[in-house]
Structure 1
Amino acid sequence: MALSNPTTQSKCITEEAYTWSEANNCYIFPRFGLGLVMIGTIRVHNDMLLAASKALASQVTEEHYVKGIIYPLFGNIRKITTHIAANVAAKAYELGVATRLPQPTDLVKYVENCMYTLNYHSYH
């Protein structure tokens, strides 16, 4: 997800972001983007990125930490996606930068309805 448009105005390139953070951002940015797009955010604030980060961190259990796992298991990615995007959206509404009004009463359900679901049919 490009954070600057045009990309020539980017503060860094993907490789620099990976090197600087010593990690990839496969957990945060796709879900962050979903949270922004689904509610029509007009501005992005640091607090929204912090909300995404906290939502990700809250998905890691004590059991994970004991095993040395610092990210939630990727097998739970739909649950993780829902949690992060809903928290980003909630923060955007709190900050008054969401344009999809009124705010959905159940942001988790709204995220679930916005997510694409793969359905493969078996043809025999």
Structure 2
Amino acid sequence: MIFPYSNPTSRAECTAAQAYEWSDGRVLFGSGTPMPPVQFQGQRIKPSQGNNVYIFPAVGMAIYATGARRVSQEVFLTAAQALSEQVPEEYLKRGQLYPSRSRIREVSLHVAAKVAQTLDEMGHARHETEDWSGRIDELAYVPSYETIDG
């Protein structure tokens, strides 16, 4: 596993191409900045970009939904596990470690619900519900705007 997370890209510890070449294609690669696709042994590989956009907004939503005042390391482990559940097997076979950003809303709601459940199980939730997924969905902002005539 190689995760060059330094920003900007010019400061990254290595490029995706270097990682695939060095590891003879066996690397699990995720960078902190976008990297171009890599041609390696006749295959086109799209490097994964890890970003806090997958974790922190969902954790924040879960804290808001539950009213929790304490956040432990277990919350972030739950978030990481929930995120991994959203990576399809075919992505992993292609070396992609994160879900598509086109699914960011769906992924974030899933992660937030799992984190809220964990906060509840830990006794940190100050709000009660039997359905954290539904509560998270109710609270989530929907960027939908009505047309104003006039």
Query: What is the TM-score when the length of structure 2 is the normalising length?
Result: 0.64
1:115 aligned residue: 140
Q: How does 1:5-84 map to 2 (within 5 A)?
A: 19=6, 23=32, 24-84=51-111
Q: Percent identity at matched positions?
A: 33
Q: Would you identify which runs of 4 or more consecutive aligned residues in structure 1 move more than 4 Å?
A: none
Letter in 1 for 2:136: V
Deviation at 1:19, TM superposition (A): 3.1
CA distance in 1, matches of 2:97, 2:31: 14
CA distance in 2, matches of 1:36, 1:123: 35
RMSD of equivalent CA atoms: 1.9
Deviation at 1:22, TM superposition (A): 5.3
Deviation at 1:122, TM superposition (A): 3.4
| SS of the residue 1:82 aligns to | helix
CA distance in 2, matches of 1:105, 1:97: 15
Q: Which moved more, 1:32-41 or 1:22-31?
A: 22-31
CA distance in 2, matches of 1:86, 1:122: 32
1:12 aligned residue: none
Higher helix share: 1
Unaligned 5+ residue runs, structure 2?
8-29, 33-50
Unaligned 5+ residue runs, structure 1?
1-17
* Number of equivalences: 105
| SS of the residue 1:47 aligns to | helix
Query: What is the TM-score when the length of structure 1 is the normalising length?
Result: 0.76
What is the CA deviation profile of residues 36-76 of structure 1, one whole-angstrom value per residue up to 9, with x for unaligned ones? Answer: 11110110011111000100011001111122221101111
**Structure with the larger RCO, 1 or 2 (CA within 8 Å, 6+ apart):** 1
